[in-house]
Amino acid sequence: MSKARKILVTAALPYANGPIHLGHLVEYIQTDIWVRFQNLRGNRCIYICADDTHGTAIMKSARQRGCTEEQFVAMMHDAHRRDFAGFDVEFDNYGSTNSPENREYCEEIWRALQDKGLIAQRQVVELFDSQTGETLPDRFVKGTCPNPRCGATDQYGDNCDRCGSTYSAIDLIDPISTISGTPPVKGESEHFFVNIEALHEFLDEWTQSGEHLQDEVANYLKSHFLEAPLRDWDVSRPAPYFGFEIPGTHGRHYWYVWFDAPIGYMGSTREWCKRRGEDSDEWWRGESTEIHHFIGKDIQYFHCLFWPAMLRVAGFNLPDKVHIHGFLTVNGRKMSKRDGTFVMAATYLKHLDPAALRYYYAAKLGPRLDDIDMNLDEFVAKVNADIVGKVVNLASRTAKFVESTGLSPVYPDDGGLFAQAASVADEIAAAYESCDYNRAVRLVLEMADRANPYVENAAPWSLKKDPGRAKELQDVCTVALNLFRQIAVYLSPVLPRLAKQTEELLGQPIRHWDEVQTPLVGTPVAPFRHMMQRIDKKDVQAMIEESRESALGAESPKPQPLQDSDEALKAEPLAPTCTIDDFTKVDLRIARVVSAEHVPDAEKLLKLVLSLGGEERRTVFAGIKKAYQPEQLVGRMVVMAANLAPRKMKFGLSEGMVLASGPGGAEVFLLGADSGAKPGQRVH
């Protein structure tokens, strides 16, 4: 046998601003199958992934939830892990881009780029949210299409979905920030760029070598990017931004989320290595390591241009292959919330067996970038017919005849069936290796199509009636169960649970691909237990219904142009003018809520402990109980009046006041601070 390969595999890092859905799972299941296949072949293969946690969208989501970005991404991290585990997607490490390991790698790569003189600085005109000061990506601005012949309202800042014209968000008429609902302000700020053109020749060679990319990907890159000089890549965003600060910029600049996201593959590898006492350089600089990325076609250029360039400059291993897949459609159409076909992983798991989806995706996935369609009727029919009707049925119809005797001591004559199935091993392996899973599955199913007629002809149920033919009965079942086991081995990357159940039934572990070459003989057979339920169409329907409902419930109101009522001002008219000196007497400080708890017997009060940074702590009783749950508050930044004279209250001493607006009761709104503010900073 050839030497074991050492393979590092990644799937794209899911963005931490939403739950995993069936579209995501195409990739994670595709990758999981590949990793399991490699390990079954005796290679050393690790599956590395992480949450992609930075950027404007995360800041917005966190704010909507009233928590810090860190809390928000921690919550998503748990949810993602749960979803993946539910589908038997097993990562060796599932990290986060917001980790110290990732920061180390970002800084290392950044230094390399700087040392090679590939970083430039330039002013960029862009839009900012007038309330939060955040940069607004085009997609976060909506307004009226600037095309004079169109004028459609409520369009995103990158293009118009009515007339199809493209433009910059700056050109939109009556633009509105989707973050605060206010008009954005135009501003100029300094950005850092990578001179990627310096790597043009290298990228030409690397992408066109035919070794690393699918042909259509190489063509796409060549015609769209490589035939002209590559533009500088904008890799920074001005503060405030949730991400890593660029060293030496004094908190003014952060790396753009797409700079640190792919580096997250390395950061996550290092997390894993630390846990295992390994050196991550073994994986990212070692000569004998292969690196394989699995991604969707939407993020090709990041992974096939910028990423190899960065790795190259910093002296890391380049990917051996970037495997790119298409998108998922359901019943021939884009997944749609309205149709109920935008199904979350967690929703699927409430109604259906994860193995069914794994099998169906495997049966659909090929080595190319075509979208794959999940036809729900076909899904039901295929899983029921193939797995339950043909494969599991083999065991289900024979196992109990040999429950008391076990398998025959010598493998009987089976007309060459076992040998034939064993001889296809290389062909199936090649199909898995090249991600041609539908071919692999087809080849395996042919075996089941030969095995069932064998059982039919041998008729063990008839043999059973004649005690004189007990040996024959045992032989027939020995053949059937060995044919079944071969199938279970071949499909074990796709259906790990079925492989486990087969191990339990036959009392022998499935550890290696080559187990298909040797029949089991003379071993006991455990009582048969159902291995997989048939899919009931009603369950699919219920899943669709639930997806439709939850989508309706979650429909977020569109930001309205501001038409504020004068109610609040009338209710509480402006106070008399004060001087700046009056104002500065009040020392307002940013503080972080370190704990929050209910006060027994108090109607309105929550007891908060606030940190002003370092060891400074203040206990404050705040009348916000009807508006906030304590757990919502922990970790949040608030503004406090810090030099207010302490006041003795019924429940203890209150050493300040947190600032909030609203008439009271449940209508209380705490003041927060934009990302980047630090506890202890004075508010001026």
Q: What whole-number distance in Å separates Cα of residue 85 and Cα of residue 82? A: 5
Is residue 473 part of the contact set for RNA (CB under 7 A)? no
Quick one: tokens of 142?
């909506």
DSSP readout, 77-100?
HHHHHHHHHHTT---SEEEESSSH
Q: Which of 190, 216, 549, 616 binds RNA (CB under 7 A)?
A: 216
Q: Which of 44, 116, 122, 231 binds RNA (CB under 7 A)?
A: 231
Q: What is each CA distance from 20 to 264, 347, 493, in whole angstroms?
A: 19, 10, 21
- Interaction residues for RNA, span 540-579 (CB under 7 A): none
- Is residue 323 within 8 A of residue 294, CB to CB? The reply is yes
Angle between helices 307-314 and 257-276 (to 10 degrees): 60
Is residue 121 part of the contact set for RNA (CB under 7 A)? no
- Give kind and range of the element (H or E) at residue 479: helix 470-491
Site map 156..175 versus RNA, x via CB under 7 A: --x-----x-x---------
Q: What whole-number distance in Å separates Cα of residue 263 and Cα of residue 269? A: 10
Q: Which of 61, 71, 331, 375 binds RNA (CB under 7 A)?
A: 375
Q: What whole-number distance in Å separates Cα of residue 536 and Cα of residue 91? A: 30
Neighbours of 663 (CB within 10 A): 11
* Closest CB 395 distance from RNA, rounded Å: 8
Q: What whole-number distance in Å separates Cα of residue 610 and Cα of residue 346? A: 36
Adjacent-strand bridge partners of 254: 237, 245
Q: Which of 371, 597, 631, 667 binds RNA (CB under 7 A)?
A: 371
- Interaction residues for RNA, span 504-533 (CB under 7 A): 530-533
Residue showing tokens 């550890």: 511
Site map 340..369 versus RNA, x via CB under 7 A: --------------------------x-xx
Taking the least distance from each CB to RNA, the nearer of 84 and 379 is 379
Is residue 587 part of the contact set for RNA (CB under 7 A)? no
Q: What whole-number distance in Å separates Cα of residue 414 and Cα of residue 478? A: 10
Quick one: tokens of 530?
């159902």
Taking the least distance from each CB to RNA, the nearer of 283 and 401 is 401
Q: What is each CA distance from 669 to 108, 506, 622, 639, in whole angstroms?
A: 42, 63, 12, 12
Q: Which of 30, 452, 482, 492 binds RNA (CB under 7 A)?
A: 452
* Closest CB 669 distance from RNA, rounded Å: 36
* Closest CB 250 distance from RNA, rounded Å: 26
Q: What whole-number distance in Å separates Cα of residue 552 and Cα of residue 544? A: 12
Q: What whole-number distance in Å separates Cα of residue 47 and Cα of residue 7? A: 9
Is residue 398 part of the contact set for RNA (CB under 7 A)? yes
Taking the least distance from each CB to RNA, the nearer of 146 and 366 is 366
Taking the least distance from each CB to RNA, the nearer of 35 and 136 is 136
Q: What is each CA distance from 27 to 321, 326, 397, in whole angstroms?
A: 15, 9, 35
Is residue 154 part of the contact set for RNA (CB under 7 A)? no
Is residue 500 part of the contact set for RNA (CB under 7 A)? no
Is residue 326 part of the contact set for RNA (CB under 7 A)? yes
Quick one: tokens of 161?
């979905």
Is residue 279 part of the contact set for RNA (CB under 7 A)? no
Q: Which of 415, 453, 507, 561 binds RNA (CB under 7 A)?
A: 453
Of 16-24, 185-193, 460-468, 624-632: span binding RNA (CB under 7 A):
460-468
Site residues, RNA (CB under 7 A): 158, 164, 166, 215-216, 219-220, 223-224, 231, 233, 297-298, 301, 326-327, 334, 366, 368-371, 373, 375, 378, 381, 384-386, 388-390, 392-393, 396-398, 400, 438-439, 442, 449, 452-453, 455-456, 459-462, 530-534
